[in-house]
Amino acid sequence: MFGFDGDSGIEAIVPSSPAEASGIRAGDGLVGIGSFSVPAVSGSPDGKARLEPLTALYEALFALPPDQPFPIVLRRGDEEVRVVIQPRPACRARFEVLLGRGYIADANGETIRVGAGIMARLSDGKLAAIVAHEIAHNILGHARLSEEQHVRGGLAGIFGRSARLTRAMEDAADRLSLRLLANAGYDPHDAVALWQEDGGALTGWMPINTSYRNWRSRANLLEAELAAMRAGSKR
């Protein structure tokens, strides 16, 4: 379906990325990464692909030292090609796209998941704003903090202490996201525009929930923070 030479492969290359510099091309099949070989994906009786071996590989990759070069072996047509990736310091995260889901994005301290609906419907700038918010959650250690503080999610967490803590974390992630966007060369105003223009659609599915600001309040918080940044505040 994707046209890879093999079960796993490269669908796209981020321009100016370490992957592009190494010579990897879209369409290449993945044979090996570092000292790991990429497992074959086998089908199960219900017709679904078994992804557990790939998940184990992701975890092994995540444990690699972030600043050490590592080889990648690719299949390109009949040839096996070996390249070396030179990692570059960045916000370390694993990204997953959730297929067939609406407006959803979350982060668990390691993986950032973004719904295909968001990627299909929003501009790159607004998508970057959502990703920056999730990266901010990871940088600020919010998944660990929620666990330590026994913050409750779902219906149990929409009022009271859990709601207050969640809201404080959301505000902190929104504030930091503006700096991440600016540092990465994106326009941080896209975060404001996101909530002003798409806030209704983004939060439409949310129940009455005191742990999350409504979209207007969120746009206002971001706008105020942006003004503070422009004024040279060191907050």
What whole-number distance in Å separates Cα of residue 194 and Cα of residue 223? 11
Q: Determine the interface stretch with Zn ion among 2-10, 29-37, 66-74, 166-174 (rule: CB under 5 A).
A: 166-174
Stretch that binds Zn ion, among 16-24, 150-158, 171-179, 188-196 (CB under 5 A): 171-179
- Short-list 153, 151, 155, CA closest to 165: 151
**C-beta of 229: minimal distance to Zn ion in Å?**
19
Can you tell me the distance from the alpha carbon of 20 to that of 44, in angstroms, rounded to the nearest whole number? 34
Residues 172-211 that bind Zn ion (CB under 5 A): 173
Instruction: Please report which helix (H) or strand (E) contains residue 165, including its range.
Output: helix 160-183
Under 8 Å between Cβ of 142 and 169: yes
Contact 56, 64 (CB under 8 A): no
Pick the stretch among 37-45, 168-176, 180-188, 207-215 that binds Zn ion (CB under 5 A).
168-176
* Burial of 182 (C-beta count, 10 Å sphere; 0-12/13-18/19+): middle
CB of 114 to Zn ion, least distance (A): 12
Least CB distance from residue 174 to Zn ion, whole Å? 8
What is the nearest approach in angstroms of Zn ion to the Cβ of residue 68?
32
| Residues in contact with Zn ion, shown as a per-residue x/- string from 119 to 138 under the rule CB under 5 A | --------------------
Residue ranges in contact with Zn ion by CB under 5 A: 170, 173
